[in-house]
Chain A
């Protein structure tokens, strides 16, 4: 796998924070990050934005729609949402928005905790390729990788965003 030069994540996080600020006028907005990359981004945003409610994190492994094809992800973490989602505005954070299936799974999981008033989707990268009618409200970077390229966030310290060539593909 070859790696092209990456992006500096800090200005992207800043852009996300600025775009999210108008959404956070509502008191007690909750934030939930999706394991693993989304949770890294959410931890940074949550700290920078000084939200009152503690941060939630979800692992969507049990909610994936491809479970019957590929089985369980080798490492599943416990989801943890330390606030009542019922009637609340929630910012859902992920690193990369691609097919939209991860977001669908995450929303299904959140609804098992309660009925949020509104969910706002914030991602670091929107790379297109959607297979479901799901669009981010906030995206710091829009990319259109060519076939055979994958966008990868590594972290948590330091956070690095890379465009990688998948081996054996054009």
Chain B
């Protein structure tokens, strides 16, 4: 997994004392760091079931959700995560067009720093945007990458491995298949790193040649262009959303044709291991990458992923906020 995009992740994510200070991508994280996040998230999962779903952990802290791209699930779970930790939350949705007023990303960040905020959750269409902000703010605030271009979406990967571990135990014995538009997917990229760091012995990627980057097979990932072959014996199947808005028209003949060849249905899933788990990061294009009956069926854990996403984001915010003020602050 060495060849993919790098933005100095290892150096930027950890402080001089070796503690995790920002969460920007899965690459550069150690397995014990990921496991610590997952274990902490288990505790927050319990808190989500109480009458009062709130802890005083981040009382007095201010977290900014800075979203330069649309998002429902990620933005709302980050907002709720921070609120349940008793932090104050500022939601800023910047349409890229209003950035054309001339204020750069770092200008926006500097204005917020002048308000003494403690953390930035950033989604941006450009790869490396969160890294740029993390380098800019250093140890003064925590930075979480909530999706940057086609590069990374680390909290999505964390909630996926959390969900897999929750239902199937450690990754060490599992065959995990990622199906769909891998080329445009920051989710897939982060999933592959997370699974591989946690010791998943067989990571498969299934999709049409036009949507699967060729270099993946050089990274130890098994590439399939036939859905049935790729699903055979898989314990976990992660569907990806077909990124219609990111797709140049010529990569696919038609959505119908795509569904016929790569759409997940209950029937196609029979090739996988019995009771295989089905994940999808949402939003679901019903009838395109996954059939409704499967998305709503007993093997689907799509809504559990949302619940787990909240717990995982509470864990990440808590762990990073706990490292604030430790050094150079």
Chain A residues in contact with chain B, CB under 8 A? 59, 61-63, 67-72, 74-80, 108-109, 111-114
Residue from the list B40, B47, B50, B325 in contact with A72, Cβ < 8 A: B40
* In the complex with contacts A72-B318, A72-B322, A59-B57 CB distance below 8 A: no
Q: Can you name the residue of chain A whose Cβ is closest to the Cβ of B325?
A: A68
What residue in chain B is nearest A62 (Cβ atoms)?
B55
Chain B: minimal CB distance from A151 (Å): 26
B318: chain A residues within 8 A (beta carbon): 62, 72
**Distance (whole angstroms) from the CB of A113 to the closest CB of chain B:** 6
Please, which residues of chain A bring their CB within 8 A of the CB of B322?
Answer: 67, 70-72
B118 to chain A, nearest CB (A): 10
The CA-CA distance from A78 to B57 in the complex, in Å, is: 15
A72-B318, A113-B51 are known contacts. Are A67 and B39 too (CB-CB below 8 A)?
Answer: no
Task: Report whether A74 and B36 are in contact in the complex, using a CB–CB cutoff of 8 Å.
Answer: yes
Instruction: Give every chain B residue within 8 A of A76 (Cβ-Cβ).
Output: 39-40, 43
A108/B43 in contact, CB under 8 A? no
List chain B residues, Cβ under 8 A from A68. 60, 321, 324-325
The smallest beta-carbon distance between A73 and chain B, in angstroms, is 9
| Contacting pair B43 A77 (CB below 8 A) | yes
A114 to B19, CA, bound (A): 36
B52: which of A59, A72, A78, A113 is its contact (CB, 8 Å)?
A: A113
Q: In the complex, what distance in Å separates the CA atom of A70 from the CA atom of B19?
A: 12
Q: 22 A-B residue contacts at CB 8 Å?
A: A59-B43, A61-B43, A62-B56, A63-B56, A63-B57, A68-B321, A68-B324, A68-B325, A71-B319, A71-B323, A72-B318, A72-B319, A74-B36, A75-B39, A76-B40, A77-B43, A78-B42, A78-B45, A79-B43, A111-B52, A112-B50, A113-B50
> Residue B46 at the A interface, CB < 8 A?
yes
Complex: how many Å from CA A6 to CA B133?
Answer: 53
Binding site for A on B (CB under 8 A): 19, 36, 39-40, 42-43, 45-47, 50-52, 54-57, 60, 85, 318-319, 321-326
Q: How far apart are the CA atoms of A111 and B56 in the complex, in Å? A: 12
Closest CB in chain B relative to A108 CB, distance in Å: 7
User: Which single residue of chain B is at the shortest CB-CB distance from A64?
Assistant: B57
Report whether B43 and A112 are in contact in the complex, using a CB–CB cutoff of 8 Å.
Answer: no
A112 vs B86: C-alpha distance in the bound complex, in angstroms? 13
Most buried by A among B50, B54, B324: B50
Taken together as a complex, chains A and B put the C-alpha atoms of A109 and B323 apart, in Å, by: 23
Partner of B54, one of A70, A75, A112: A112
Query: With a CB–CB cut-off of 8 A, which chain B residues contact A80?
Result: 46
Please report the C-alpha to C-alpha distance between residue A79 and residue B52 in the assembled complex, in whole angstroms.
14
Cα distance A111–B54 in the bound complex, in angstroms = 11
Chain B residue nearest to A109 in the complex (CB): B55
Measured between alpha carbons, how far is A61 from B325 in the docked complex, in Å? 18
Across the interface, do A63 and B55 meet the contact criterion of CB distance under 8 Å? yes
Closest to A108 in B: B56
Task: Flag if B319 contacts A62 (CB, 8 Å).
Answer: no
| A75 cross-chain contacts in B, Cβ below 8 A | 39
- Whole-angstrom CA separation of A75 from B326 in the bound complex: 19
Q: How far is the CA of A109 from the CA of B45 in the complex (A)?
A: 15
User: How far apart are B219's CB and chain A's nearest CB, in angstroms?
Assistant: 32
**What is the distance, in angstroms, from B69's C-beta to the closest C-beta of chain A?**
30
